[in-house]
A = this chain, B = another copy of it.
Amino acid sequence: MISTTPFADAIANYKVIFFDSYGVLRTYTGAVPGVANTFDALAAANKHFYVITNDASRSPDLLAQSLHRQGLHAVGADRIISSGMLAKDFLDLKVKTGIVAYLGTEDSAHYIEHPGLEALPLETLEEKDFGRVNALVLLDDEGFDWVKGLNKAVNLMRRRTIPVILANADGAYPVNNQDVGIAIGGLGWMLEKIVGKKLIRFGKPDSQIFMYAYEQVLANLPGITKKDILMVGDTLQTDILGGNKFGLDTVLVLTGNTLPDDAETRIASTGIAPTFICHAAVI
């Protein structure tokens, strides 16, 4: 078993904490035991926090409600930065008119609703309207028929030169203590490889989501620098790599994708080293 730092010690010298959600605050069985106390302690110590998640399946409001149902009442929607928000920004800046087709649930379509744009589930898009599509957004693995949706995505991508946005770069997500489910990121890899066109990826480890969060921090707390921020995550390839590259100190917790027995081997074999390793994000 790897030696770890108490979480209270790890966060002592930082003013703002960034948390990943799944695997850090909650797992498939509910909230990580004791994590609600962490938010009380942060408030008592006057430390700020944001939740930075690659989950684009729902709006920040719905994501916050889901955390509230599990007893994490401290996390308001305004504290959540999701990769879907980056996709939304991209559409605002770069796609002004026409149809934006998507793969995902109705909830996930929140991120592509925008005045001037017509958000359309890819399945209901008719071939005669292919010419009016100005972006395709991959939001969630649920909410559509895989055979119809994925085949239509391949052919839309072949026929049109449009941005194809992947709002969640994760390939799979845990569904119980041993199994995973294929995520929209995994489906996106296949589309990219078959068609030979690069998807535009938003979400950790890409630095754009950290920059987005950092701008929120600066708006609320002028003068904060990167040295004052700590990123807490369970996944080396997204949370830790992305945090490190952005210039943040990082904590790897062992309540999610990285197991206590594997942590040292994985750090050595990937070369991705967190500043601290903690058992859980629990004080």
Binding site for B on A (CB under 8 A): 89-90, 92-94, 146-147, 150-151, 154-155, 157-159, 161-164, 171-172, 178-182, 186-187, 189-190, 193-198, 200, 206-208, 211, 226-227, 237, 241, 244-249, 265, 267-273
Work out how many copies of this chain go into the complex.
4
Contacting residues, chain B, for A190 (C-beta < 8 A): 182, 186-187, 189-190
Q: Are A189 and B193 in contact (CB under 8 A)?
A: yes
Judge whether B154 and A178 touch: CB under 8 Å: no
Residues of B within 8 A of A178 (CB): 155, 158-159
Dominant SS among interface residues on chain A: helix
Shortest Cβ distance from residue A114 to the other chain B in the assembled complex, whole angstroms: 14
Residues on B with beta carbons closer than 8 Å to the beta carbon of A207: 206-208, 211
Flag if A247 contacts B193 (CB, 8 Å).
no
Contact of A171 with B198 in the complex, beta carbons under 8 Å: no
Query: Are A164 and B271 in touch, CB under 8 angstroms?
Result: yes
User: A3 to chain B: closest CB distance in Å?
Assistant: 16
Distance from A83 Cβ to chain B, minimum over Cβ atoms (Å) = 13
- B-chain residues with CB within 8 Å of residue A162 when the two chains form the complex: 271, 273
| B194 and A172 within 8 A (CB) | yes
Complex partner residue of A146 from B146, B186, B273, CB under 8 angstroms: B146
